[in-house]
Structure 1
Amino acid sequence: MPSTLPDGDPVPADGTLPCGALAGLGERPFAFYVHVPFCVTRCGYCDFNTYTATELGPGASRDSYAETAVAEVRMARRVLGDADLPVETVFVGGGTPTLLSPDDLGRVLEAIDKEFGLAPGAEVTTEANPESVDEAYLARLREVGFTRVSYGMQSAREHVLKVLDRTHTPGRVPQVVGWTRAAGFEHVNLDLIYGTPGESDDDWRASLEAALACEPDHVSAYALIVEDGTRLAAQVRRGELAAPDDDAMADRYLMADEMLSGNGLNWYEISNWARDAGAECRHNVLYWTGADWWGVGPGAHSHVGGTRWWNVKHPAAYASRLAEGVTPAHAREILTDDDRRIERIMLELRLADGCPVDLLDERTVRTLVADGLLEPVRDGRAVLTLRGRLLADAVVRDLT
């Protein structure tokens, strides 16, 4: 959830959506994202819309946040009307969602279920920092309806974690994964970051080995991005830390793909590997395939039927608007047919299933196949090769 908000068109005070957005509502999958913007400390690389206790200021409270989020869920029901919208996935991100109690997270989930209904077998995920949960917390989290936990492991090397300003110790991750399994969670994801200044190939290999030793059914591996305005960016600019090296990043990605696939985790999206289709993050798949979702929380983005909007950034402004019965939306945009086509190409091409070739220029596809960036077309789908995954941004530029 990036900390900056784009410009856009005004949103009516009651949040009413254009008629075109509501057309076909219920025919597409529907999901909720819930943003919890609180952190104990701010990681130096993080550009997300998060706040420590000293940054919150008056008008916002961690203790009252669940009820504020519930108010937006109720507003979502009013805005979307009476359409039958069983919620297929709920994803609670942050920040550190597990700074809220399991009962608070459960209250938000209960409101979603009451207002919309959770679909049978709904996937319900929360992100968590390894140091923010214990056995009792995880047991209660499972009781209130969560089915999946995604841990920010990032690295197994202490000196790498220190550069990233992560506060957990490497040994904490296996412990919390064990607690999570014991609590009855079938699905556990570990997030890793590669390319941190000072990280060696051996450090990255050790992180992959440590993650695999925990036997997660899903691993996400992301290249470090030095975001403007972060403490890490300032350190790189001053020459205190080296900027990530593109060639090293490519080597780390190849190492990740080799080790993860060699241990039964197969790529289904450029940065994500899963044990099988049942272990894939269904929530993110909905994002990548053009579903509808409502984003709850400050700075959260939503999308319904080609209309996208985003909430005000600060938790105090967010709470104030909902207390007044006014939409927390800051602005919105209505996507054109061409916008939606381009976004579909950008997102679906990241998937192992690929993108329908009839969305693409045939001559460009042939060139990219000849260059080894796309697999030979089968079943009407364009799919990236391993080399194509390394150069995915360039491939998308060529195709759009």
Structure 2
Amino acid sequence: MPSALPDGDPVPESGSLPPDALTGRDSRPLGFYLHVPYCATRCGYCDFNTYTSDELRGSGGVLASRENYAGTLADEIRLARKVLGDDPRSAATVFVGGGTPTLLPPEDLGSMLAAVRDEFGLAKDAEVTTEANPESVDGRYLERLREAGFNRISFGMQSARPHVLRVLDRNHTPGRPEACVAQARAAGFAHVNLDLIYGTPGESDDDWRASLQAAIAAGPDHISAYALIVEDGTRLARRIRRGEVPPTDDDVHADRYVIADELLTAAGMDWYEVSNWASASDGSARCRHNELYWTGADWWGAGPGAHSHVGGVRWWNVKHPAAYAQALAEGRSPGAGREVLAAEDRRVERILLELRLAAGCPLAVLTPVGRAAARRALDDGLLEPGPYEEGRAVLTLRGRLLADAVVRDLVD
């Protein structure tokens, strides 16, 4: 979750939504994102809305403390019930992200999940995920998470090479993420993800292959691989600007992506979104919560800086944990701003997001200009011929490498 918030219209103190936002809700899944904004240290590349203890000291006191956080977030879940009223939907997915959620005791994460269960209920097959730092958990912690109701876990591995981890300011021990996969399996987690980052300054092709091979050998059923993006204001951006480490390179990113796709495909993992691969052919290993985002479903984001979307209305919370807690303590929505998406905005976003999926985007949502661009993309080898003939735009491997450019053409 990026730390910068967009401009927008004011959010009513009650958090109420326009009536149209709830029209047709029964046909859309509902998910919850629960943000935990705490980290032990700040990674040099991170631009997420997170805070270390030193950053919070003296800037909110007890309101911003980790000890009170689970109860504060539960207050927002209760607000969500008031805003959504008699919404009959149970939560199809719950995703706890950060920050480092596993800095909190597993019982706190469980109480946050219980707030969703108490107010909305969980679907019988609900996917319940938490992110985890490999150094912040052990076997017993993972068992307690499983007992609390979590059935999917995502570990931040990033790389298997110590020198790459140092550039990223990651402090986990090489080999620890792989061990965590085994411990999560032993604790009863049905689905386990490892996150990787490629294109770090100083990383070689062989380094990247070694990271992929280590991740595959660990036996997760899902691997995410993201190109390193150097965000302004981060420590890594300052180091690159000072010439301490070389800048990232788009051509290197493309080469690393091809390596990832080759190795992951050979290991029996299929891409289903540009940066995500899953092992089960029936789709059960995919991250269903992220699929809510990519397909324009509804989700409520609880926590400082969290973003939500319900029926074409998007809003975001205040960033600082103290301001967030103060708003809820006073019975106010912690929303900082919102926007109501016009039909054209939603059409464009649908193309932007669905084109990243292996299922692709229906050609019917394109304008005549966009359909002409799709025909050119097909001729240039950027779209798969079979799906195109069936009325869908699906990226080829080359198209995935040029996805941003393809999208720009198709949204015209």
Q: Report if TM-score (shorter chain) is over 0.5.
A: yes
What residue identity is the alignment partner of 1:282? R
SS of residue matched to 1:165: coil
Q: Secondary structure at the match of 2:118?
A: helix
Residue from 374, 382, 401 that aligns with 1:390: 401
From 205, 210, 219, the counterpart of 2:209 = 205
1:328 to 312, 325, 334: 334
Matches within 5 A, 1:14-53: 14-53=14-53
2:153 maps to 149
Cα distance, 1:201 vs. partner?
0.5
2-structure distance, mates of 1:296, 1:253? 33
1:222 and 1:379 map into 2 onto residues whose CA distance is 30
Match of 1:263 in 2: 267
State the Cα distance separating 1:324 from its structure 2 match.
0.4
Aligned to 1:373: 382
1:100 and 2:100 correspond: no
Following the alignment from structure 2 to structure 1, what is the Cα–Cα distance between the partners of residues 177 and 321? 30
Once the two structures are TM-superposed, the CA of residue 43 in structure 1 deviates from its matched residue by 0.1
Q: Secondary structure at the match of 1:279?
A: coil
Equivalence map 1:90-129=2 (5 Å): 90-129=94-133
Q: Report the CA distance between 1:26 and its aligned residue.
A: 2.6
Inter-partner Cα distance in structure 2 for 1:89 and 1:364: 36
Normalised by the size of structure 2, how large is the TM-score?
0.96
Map 1:161-172 onto structure 2 (within 5 A).
Answer: 161-172=165-176
Q: Secondary structure at the match of 2:156?
A: strand
Asked if 1:313 is matched to 2:324, the reply is no
Shift of 1:189: 0.2
Offset of residue 378 of structure 1: 3.6
Q: State the partner residue of 1:351.
A: 357
| TM-fit CA distance, 1:25 | 2.2
Within the alignment, does 1:362 sit opposite 2:371 as a pair? yes
Aligned to 1:195: 199
CA distance in 1, matches of 2:208, 2:135: 21
Q: Supply the distance in 2 between the matched residues of 1:303 and 1:173 (Cα, whole angstroms).
A: 32
Quote how far apart the aligned CAs of 1:365 are. Answer: 1.1
- What's the secondary structure of 2:246's corresponding residue? coil
Partner SS for 2:47: coil
Once the two structures are superposed, what CA deviation does each residue of 1:54-82 show, in whole Å capped at 9, x if it has no partner? Answer: 11132310000000000000000000001
Q: Which residue in the other structure is 2:81 paired with? A: 77
CA–CA separation in structure 1 for the residues paired with 2:384 and 2:269 = 21
Unpaired runs of 5+ residues, structure 2, are none
Runs of 4+ in 1 over 4 A off after TM superposition: none
| Partner Cα distance (2:346, 2:178) in 1 | 41
- Rounded to whole Å, the distance in 2 between the matches of 1:395 and 1:363 is 12
Q: Secondary structure at the match of 2:284?
A: helix
Q: CA deviation at 1:362?
A: 2.1
1:219 matched to which residue of 2?
223
Structure 1 gap segments, 5+ residues each: none
- For residues 44 and 84 of structure 2, what CA distance do their matches in structure 1 show? 39
Query: How far is 1:372 from its partner?
Result: 0.8
Instruction: Give, in whole Å, the separation in 1 of the partners of 2:397 and 2:335.
Output: 40
Secondary structure at 1:278 match in 2: coil
How far, CA to CA, are the matches of 2:238 and 2:26 in structure 1? 46
User: What is the count of residue pairs matched by the alignment?
Assistant: 400
> Residue 2 of structure 2 aligns with which residue?
2
Given that residues 371 and 410 in structure 2 are in contact (C-alpha distance below 8 angstroms), is that contact kept between their aligned partners in structure 1? no
TM-score (norm 1): 0.99
Alpha-carbon distance, 1:85 to partner: 1.4
Q: Residue deviations 1:105-129, cap 9 Å, x none?
A: 1101111011001001100000001
Secondary structure at 1:88's aligned position in 2?
strand
Match of residue 137 from structure 2:
133
The offset of 1:320, in angstroms, is 0.3
1:252 aligned to 256, 259, 270, which one? Answer: 256
Deviation at 1:27, TM superposition (A): 2.1
Question: Could you tell me which amino acid in structure 2 is paired with residue 260 of structure 1?
Answer: L
| CA RMSD in angstroms, aligned pairs only | 0.7
Task: Single out whichever of 52-61 and 343-352 deviates more from structure 2.
Answer: 52-61
Deviations 1:123-170 (CA, angstroms, capped at 9, x unpaired): 000000100101110000000100000000000000000000000011
Q: Greater shift after overlay, 325-334 or 379-388?
A: 379-388
Q: What is the identity, as a one-letter code, of the residue corresponding to 1:390? A: L
- 1:20, CA displacement in angstroms? 1.2
Deviation at 1:171, TM superposition (A): 1.6
Q: Residue 174 of structure 1: CA displacement? A: 1.9
Question: Matches of 1:35 and 1:26 in 2, distance apart?
Answer: 25
Q: Distance in 2 between matches of 1:230 and 1:26?
A: 42
Identity level (%): 69
